[in-house]
Every structure is written in C-alpha cells, then in structure tokens.
C-alpha cells in the first residue's frame, strides 16, 4: 500500500514536512569514490527527509590545494564552534598524488591536522549484521577500539648504531640539570630508539575514553605492558586510575559500568573469549594493530565506523576506510562499482544523532536510528554490495551497485517511516 493512501492532502503535507535542525552540522566533503557516495547519501536518504542545516567545507584535494589547506583548519575550527562534524574520506597526498593533481605541495593528512586542532581520541567500532558472523565465534556485541593518537613510536627518534659504543638517554632540565642513563653498551652494530609521551595528552586520552564509555553505556578496558615498562607504561596506568578515581568513579557506578585495567597480553586473551560490548582503550601502537585485528575479525573495513572525540566533547564522525581509489578509477572509466556505503552512511547517522541529542531534537535522533535500522535490514534481507556478499551467510543474495544499494535502503526507510 502506498504510504499516504487514505489520508487527506493537508495531512500528507504535514507528514511530509521535513525534519528541522536548529544548529548546523559541520560537513566536510572529501575525495574520490567516497565523495560520490557522499552526494548519493545526501540526495537519496537525507535531503528528502531533513532540512539539512550544514556548514559545508570542501576538503576535496583540489580545494585544499586552492586554499593552501586553510579550508581544513577552518573546518576544524567550525567543529570546535558547533560541536559536531561529519567527514568524508580524504586523500592524504603522497608524491604520486602531487603529480596526479598538480599540487602546490604535499599537504599534510587532513585527519592529522584536524586531530591536532581538536586534540582527540579516535574510537572505532564495527557495524554488526546478523548474517555476517565474526571470525571469533563468541563475539556478539561490537568491540570499540579507542586509540591514543599522540606520541610513542609515531613521534620517535631512531637510528642505527653502526659499531661498538655506548647509547645514553639524557634529559636536560630547563635549570640545566642533566639526568643520564646508559641504554646499552654496544659491542657491535644494532639499533636505538627514543620516544616520549606527555601527561597532558594521556589525561585527555583517559577523559575521552571515560566520556565515550559513559556515552555508549559500555565498560571501559585499558591495557598496557606496565610490568615490563615500569615507568613509561605505568604512567599511563596511573593517570587512568587517577582520572577515574577523581572524575568518573561515581558516574560509572551510577551507570552500572566498570573500568578495568589489565596487562595487554591478558586483555588480548580475555577479548577473544568475551562476548564483546566493551570499549578497549589502547596506546597508540597497540590501537593501530588491534583495530585492524578487530575490524578484520568482525568482517570488513567497509563496516567500521570511526569517531574522533575531543576532551571538551567535540565529535567528528567518519568512515574508517579511505577514498576507495581502485573503485573510483573504475567509476571514471564508466564501469559499474559496488562500493559499500555503510560506514559513510553511519558517519552521517552518528553525527545527526549526536546533533539531535545535543539540541533535544528527538525527530532527528529517531530519524538517524530508523535510517541505520533500514540499512541493516537491507543487508539482512540479502541486498548488499560485493564486498559483503563474500562474507554473508545468507543463501539468497542480491549483489547491487553503489547507487542501487542506497535506493534499496530508501525503500525500506520509507516503509519504516510510514509504519510509525
């Protein structure tokens, strides 16, 4: 039955009224295949239902080049101002891209620039679909990886010791006092590395993790190797405990949630045996490795969502994957693509829901929930992009192209909205 059959015209126009947004959402457009998906999502699934109030920033590589990358800074400042942003995947230029786009220079990673301005922590969680079983049989709920995005080996100093000699670690205080420790007496060639982190960044990381866990109502786990690294890793452990005791213990108790610290190897073993459903905070390197492990075990990078949360509570939503260049080149050649839009769609729903929560706009939060449900229903009913068809356990599957998948979602969205 058509959704509006049996209603008077004035009733229909009332039902057709689009959802309003009081405060703008910061929209950061991007590159290649995800830029195409971006527009399709807006045209097919957002603009017909919402009076989309966004402040638009074009972070496409050409526009970043034209503005000497100022647009990225402006977009991050806008996120600071309004509190919620949604970002499309963007190209991080390398030498090949400089040639391909004739760039003035090899601009920095937009995500790096935004992260430096917002000082955030990145949370990555999979989108679960019943018919796609995780490789780990016990996992029933999503596992969110919270990765510290500052320091450690990502800001290291390292070189080779070419022959015998003494490696020392020296700290010179502003007062001129020196502390000096021998790292190793080399008898032959080898390698040396120095790295650091800062208390302020660890405190921000801890707060972001506690806030996020409260927000999604999940336990927080944190793990390092503090038995071996008795000062470096132990500092992480101590800071988390201190922040928890001083600022979050009561809130966690009230919410019936737990904060739990253990050694990283123990955490790995427990995570594999668990049902999932926790936020797992990791140091920078551990988070890099574990997020790929978790994403792959849950199925596909195309189903991983990502959100940057700043210590002041600014949220920037995006997909965990990149611009899907290989598919884009095929698209440019006029070939059909079957690129999965789920993670990009969930970036939009995540941002719209958060905007709705902050503004007390339940129409908007409800719409975000329904759109997510409609997209999951589409896959459950056997309609999916090629990447998922290899993972889904359904016996009847219909593989659709990039645009048709979103049209299929719209059919289900319409019937769910009119069924309310």
Neighbours of 252 (CB within 10 A): 17
> Considering only residues 44, 288, 357, 381, which one is a binding residue for Mg ion as defined by CB under 5 A?
288
Whichever of 291 and 323 has its CB closer to ligand NAP, that residue is 323
Give me the least distance between CB of 194 and Mg ion, in Å please.
Answer: 23
Dihedral-angle region of residue 401 (phi above 0 means left; psi in -120 to 50 means alpha; beta otherwise)? beta
Quick note: the x/- pattern for ligand NAP over 352-391, rule CB under 6 A, is: -----------------------------------x----
Whichever of 108 and 251 has its CB closer to ligand NAP, that residue is 108
> Considering only residues 302, 309, 374, 409, which one is a binding residue for ligand NAP as defined by CB under 6 A?
302
Whichever of 55 and 288 has its CB closer to Mg ion, that residue is 288
Question: Could you tell which of ligand NAP, Mg ion, none binds residue 322, using a CB distance below 5 to 8 A set by kind?
Answer: ligand NAP
**Is position 340 an interface residue for ligand NAP (rule: CB under 6 A)?**
yes
Q: Which among 87-95, 248-256, 352-360, 389-397 is the span making contact with ligand NAP, rule CB under 6 A?
A: 87-95
Span 316-335, contacts to ligand NAP by CB under 6 A:
318, 321-326
How many residues bind ligand NAP (CB under 6 A)? The answer is 17
Distance (Å, whole) CA 28 – CA 35? 10
**Is position 92 an interface residue for Mg ion (rule: CB under 5 A)?**
no
**Is position 109 an interface residue for Mg ion (rule: CB under 5 A)?**
no
C-alpha pair distances (Å), 308 with each of 119, 147, 183, 186: 9, 10, 36, 42
Question: Could you tell which of Mg ion, ligand NAP, none binds residue 383, using a CB distance below 5 to 8 A set by kind?
Answer: none
DSSP 121: E
Span 88-117, contacts to ligand NAP by CB under 6 A:
89-92, 111
Give me the least distance between CB of 292 and Mg ion, in Å please.
Answer: 5
Span 369-398, contacts to Mg ion by CB under 5 A:
none
The CA-based angle 416-419-420, given to 5 degrees, is 95
Give me the least distance between CB of 288 and Mg ion, in Å please.
Answer: 4
CB-closest chain residue to ligand NAP: 322
What DSSP assignment string belongs to 276-334? --EEEEE-HHHHHHHHHHHHHHHS-GGGEEEEEE-TT--EEEEESS---HHHHHHHHTT
Do the Cβ atoms of 144 and 124 come closer than 8 Å? yes
| 301 contacts: CB under 8 Å, gap ≥ 6 | 295, 320, 321
Distance (Å, whole) CA 352 – CA 370? 12
How many residues bind Mg ion (CB under 5 A)? The answer is 1
Whichever of 111 and 201 has its CB closer to ligand NAP, that residue is 111
Strands (E) across 215-258 are located at: 219-224
The secondary structure of the chain in percent helix, strand, coil, rounded to multiples of 5, reads 45, 20, 35
Neighbours of 68 (CB within 10 A): 12
Both tokens of 408, joined, read: 């299929």
Residues that bind ligand NAP (CB under 6 A): 89-92, 111, 301-302, 318, 321-326, 339-340, 387
Residues that bind Mg ion (CB under 5 A): 288
């Amino acid at each position: 039955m058509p959704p509006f059959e049996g209603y008077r015209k004035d009733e229909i126009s009332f039902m057709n009224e689009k959802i309003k947004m009081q405060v703008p959402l910061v929209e950061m457009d991007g590159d290649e295949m995800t830029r195409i998906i971006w527009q399709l999502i807006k045209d097919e699934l957002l603009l017909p239902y919402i009076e989309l109030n966004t402040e638009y920033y074009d972070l496409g590589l050409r526009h970043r080049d034209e503005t000497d990358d100022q647009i990225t800074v402006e977009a991050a400042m806008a996120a600071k101002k309004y509190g919620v942003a949604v970002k499309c995947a963007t190209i991080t230029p390398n030498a090949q891209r400089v040639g391909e786009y004739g760039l003035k220079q090899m601009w920095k990673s937009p995500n790096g620039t935004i992260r430096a301005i917002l000082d955030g922590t990145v949370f990555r969680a999979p989108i679960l679909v019943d018919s796609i079983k995780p490789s780990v049989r016990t996992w029933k709920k999503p596992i969110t990886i919270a990765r510290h995005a500052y320091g450690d080996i990502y800001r290291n100093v390292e070189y080779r010791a070419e022959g015998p000699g003494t490696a020392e670690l020296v700290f010179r205080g502003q007062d001129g006092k020196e502390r000096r420790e021998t790292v190793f007496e080399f008898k032959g060639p080898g390698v040396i590395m120095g790295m650091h982190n800062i208390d302020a960044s660890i405190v921000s990381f801890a707060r972001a993790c506690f806030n996020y866990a409260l927000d999604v109502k999940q336990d927080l786990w944190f793990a390092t190797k503090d038995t071996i690294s008795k000062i470096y890793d132990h500092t992480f452990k101590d800071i988390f405990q201190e922040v928890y005791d001083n600022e979050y213990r009561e809130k966690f108790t009230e919410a019936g949630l737990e904060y739990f610290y253990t050694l990283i190897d123990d955490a790995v073993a427990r995570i594999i045996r668990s049902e999932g459903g926790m936020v797992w905070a990791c140091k920078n390197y551990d988070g890099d490795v574990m997020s790929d492990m978790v994403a792959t075990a849950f199925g596909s990078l195309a189903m991983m969502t990502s959100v940057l949360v700043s210590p002041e509570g600014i949220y920037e939503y995006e997909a965990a994957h990149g611009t899907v260049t290989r598919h884009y080149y095929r698209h440019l050649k006029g070939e059909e693509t079957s690129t999965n839009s789920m993670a990009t769609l969930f970036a939009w729903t995540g941002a719209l829901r958060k905007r709705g929560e902050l503004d007390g706009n339940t129409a908007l939060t409800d719409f975000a929930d329904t759109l997510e449900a409609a997209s999951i229903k589409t896959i459950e009913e056997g309609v999916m992009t090629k990447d998922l068809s290899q993972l889904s356990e359904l016996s009847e599957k219909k593989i659709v192209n990039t645009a048709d998948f979103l049209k299929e979602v719209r059919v289900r969205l319409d019937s769910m909205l009119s069924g309310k």
